[in-house]
């Protein structure tokens, strides 16, 4: 689908005062071509980069600030405190004022969060504050941005919007920790320089996003925080139970397991954490084209594959925690990453396939808010470590994943 700039002889809906329908580009700064979603994707990727670049730096801040494992992993989880309201409010707000201003604000806010995190070496309070700000930015970008990418992908193959949105997020999640980990390991000023690449990327993404076509005419959506369609059985009984396992599995592979074996990788702990995050996120990206091909509207294939991989990955991580071998931690991370990729595509695809236009942004926000509950998993496992070994806790977690798989699959087949 192509768009044209308004001219005196070629009026558009905007130029004559009639709003275009949701999902179609509006305004006078439209760009032509099937790749118009790329700028929105870059904005989402940039915010995802900022959200996850912190993961390998946990292993840096812990000895520098003299923090316990639970406190360090709590800083990682503080992200969810900002993300929840960001997701739930920004999605509905974008229905009212448009996707573009919300996503542009998110990119700018992620830059502010990075600047605050640069002060983290002066005290853990700066880390908490920076992570909350990053959470708000991510909530705005991922809810409005996912809907924007889907709408900008109009005319593409079925499911392309969900695949592009999840790929943009996951690419940022993978590249962010790799770049930050390498800079923290080998560059000077390891608590400052790792944040600079994301700031530069965000500065480039801002003007591109500001020129990307709007898909929701301002003032056409209802201003309410009520989420329509929330009580649908397919959402409550199938999509929501799976959601926390999306990032729960990824966070365990990226944060919890690397922290258990840091004494086995002296001198390169930060780089090791970055590699674990990269292996997890990269596998999540690589499986998404396959997930799209395997998706079937009448069969829960992605649900079965995704949750089976999560369960198997947790069992392998329990073994890795028992033998405490860094190589095994890296080898098992892609299994949980693949589970993360399949379950993310499953949830986004189900919402985008089943939700009505008025429900899309709201249900996408609720699903993503539920996925980020999983970021609390490393903190919870660290707190519970006083009562049981890491291997035992991971075996229990794997059993819970298996129960979720059985229950959601039964509901889906109904």
Query: What pLDDT is stored for residue 30 in this prediction?
Result: 42
Lowest mean pLDDT among 196-205, 245-254, 294-303, 318-327: 294-303
- What's the domain range around 49? 34-218+229-413
* Beta pairing partners, 7: 10
Indicate the pLDDT class of residue 236, thresholds 50, 70 and 90: confident
**pLDDT, tens only, 88-107:** 888 778 878 889 999 999 99
Most confident of 141-145, 198-202, 272-276, 326-330: 198-202
Percent of the chain surpassing pLDDT 70: 88
Query: What pLDDT is stored for residue 335 in this prediction?
Result: 96
**Within a 13 Å sphere around the CA of 19, how many CA atoms are in the beta-carbon half?**
14
CB count, 10 Å around CB of 63?
11
User: Residue 6: is its pLDDT beyond 50?
Assistant: no
**CATH code, 123:** 1.20.1250.20
Query: What pLDDT is stored for residue 103 in this prediction?
Result: 96
Indicate the pLDDT class of residue 135, thresholds 50, 70 and 90: very high
Domain count, the chain: 1
Lowest mean pLDDT among 63-67, 83-87, 131-135, 294-298: 294-298
Mean pLDDT, to the nearest integer, of 231-253?
91
**pLDDT, tens only, 164-219:** 887 888 788 888 988 998 999 898 999 999 999 999 999 999 999 999 999 887 76
Distance CA 137, CA 83 (A): 7
Query: What pLDDT is stored for residue 317 in this prediction?
Result: 93
Mean pLDDT, to the nearest integer, of 55-59?
85
Lowest mean pLDDT among 10-14, 226-230, 280-284: 10-14
Average pLDDT, whole number, for the chain? 84
Q: Is 28 within a domain? A: no
Mean pLDDT, to the nearest integer, of 61-71?
84
Q: Is 290 within a domain? A: yes
Query: What pLDDT is stored for residue 158 in this prediction?
Result: 67
Q: Is 2 within a domain? A: no
Q: Is 255 within a domain? A: yes
Q: Is 21 within a domain? A: no
User: Residue 3: is its pLDDT beyond 70?
Assistant: no
Q: Is 223 within a domain? A: no
Query: What pLDDT is stored for residue 408 in this prediction?
Result: 92
SS3 readout for the chain:
CCCCCCECCECCCCCCCCCCCCCCCECCCCCCCHHHHHHHHHHHHHHHHHHHCCCCCHHHHHHHHCCCHHHHHHHHHHHHHHHHHHHHHHHHHHHHHCHHHHHHHHHHHHHHHHHHHCCHHHCHHHHHHHHHHHHHHHHHHHHHHHHHHHHHCCCCCCCHHHHHHHHHHHHHHHHHHHHHHHHHHHCCCCCCHHHHHHHHHHHHHHHHHHCCCECCCCCCCCCCCCCCCCCCHHHHHHHHHHHHHHHHHHHHHHHHHHHHCHHHCCCCHHHHHHHHHHHHHHHHHHCHHHHHHHCECCECHHHHHHHHHHHHHHHHHHHHHHHCCHHHHHHHHHHHHHHHHHHHHHHHHHHHHHCCCCCHHHHHHHHHHHHHHHHHHHHHHHHHCCCCCHHHHHHHHHHHHHHHHHHHHHHHHC
Q: Is 10 within a domain? A: no
Q: Is 4 within a domain? A: no
Query: What pLDDT is stored for residue 252 in this prediction?
Result: 93
Mean pLDDT, to the nearest integer, of 315-331?
92
Query: What pLDDT is stored for residue 8 in this prediction?
Result: 32
User: Residue 127: is its pLDDT beyond 80?
Assistant: yes
**pLDDT, tens only, 335-366:** 999 999 999 889 988 887 877 777 776 787 78
**pLDDT, tens only, 245-286:** 998 999 999 889 998 888 898 888 888 988 998 899 889 888
Q: Which residue has the higher pLDDT, 211 or 224?
A: 211
Query: What pLDDT is stored for residue 22 in this prediction?
Result: 47
User: Residue 27: is its pLDDT beyond 90?
Assistant: no
Query: What pLDDT is stored for residue 4 in this prediction?
Result: 35
Indicate the pLDDT class of residue 399, thresholds 50, 70 and 90: very high
């Amino acid at each position: 689908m192509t768009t044209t700039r308004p001219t005196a002889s070629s009026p558009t809906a905007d130029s004559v005062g009639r709003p275009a329908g949701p999902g179609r580009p509006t305004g006078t700064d439209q760009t032509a071509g099937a790749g118009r979603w790329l700028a929105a994707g870059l904005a989402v990727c940039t915010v995802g980069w900022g959200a996850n670049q912190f993961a390998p730096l946990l292993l840096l801040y812990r000895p520098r600030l003299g923090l316990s494992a639970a406190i360090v992993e709590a800083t990682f989880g503080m992200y969810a405190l900002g993300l929840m309201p960001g997701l739930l409010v920004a999605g509905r707000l974008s229905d009212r004022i448009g996707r573009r201003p919300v996503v542009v604000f998110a990119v700018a806010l992620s830059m502010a969060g990075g600047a605050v995190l640069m002060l983290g070496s002066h005290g853990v309070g700066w880390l908490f504050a920076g992570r909350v700000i990053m959470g708000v930015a991510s909530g705005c970008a991922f809810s409005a941005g996912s809907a924007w990418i889907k709408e900008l992908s109009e005319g593409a193959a079925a499911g392309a919007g969900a695949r592009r949105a999840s790929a943009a997020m996951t690419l940022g999640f993978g590249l962010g920790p790799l770049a930050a980990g390498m800079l923290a390991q080998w560059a000077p000023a390891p608590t400052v320089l790792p944040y600079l690449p994301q700031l530069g990327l965000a500065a480039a993404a801002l003007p591109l996003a500001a020129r990307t076509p709007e898909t929701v005419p301002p003032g056409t959506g209802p201003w309410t925080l009520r989420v329509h369609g929330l009580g649908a059985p397919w959402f409550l009984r199938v999509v929501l139970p799976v959601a926390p396992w999306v990032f729960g599995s990824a966070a365990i592979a990226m944060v919890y397991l690397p922290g258990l074996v840091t004494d086995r990788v002296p001198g390169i702990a930060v780089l090791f954490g970055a590699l674990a995050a990269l292996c997890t996120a990269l596998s999540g990206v690589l499986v998404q084209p396959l997930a799209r091909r395997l998706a079937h509207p009448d069969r829960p294939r992605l649900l079965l594959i995704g949750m089976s991989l999560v369960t198997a990955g947790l069992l392998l991580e329990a073994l890795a925690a028992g033998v405490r071998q860094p190589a095994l931690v890296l080898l098992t991370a892609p299994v949980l990453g693949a589970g993360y990729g399949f379950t993310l595509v499953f949830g986004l695809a189900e919402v985008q396939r089943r939700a009505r236009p008025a429900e899309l942004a709201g249900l996408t926000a609720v699903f993503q808010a539920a996925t980020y509950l999983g970021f609390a998993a490393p903190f919870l496992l660290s707190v519970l470590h006083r009562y049981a070994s890491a291997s035992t806790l991971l075996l229990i977690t794997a059993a819970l994943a298996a129960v979720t798989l059985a229950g959601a699959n039964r509901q889906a087949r109904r």
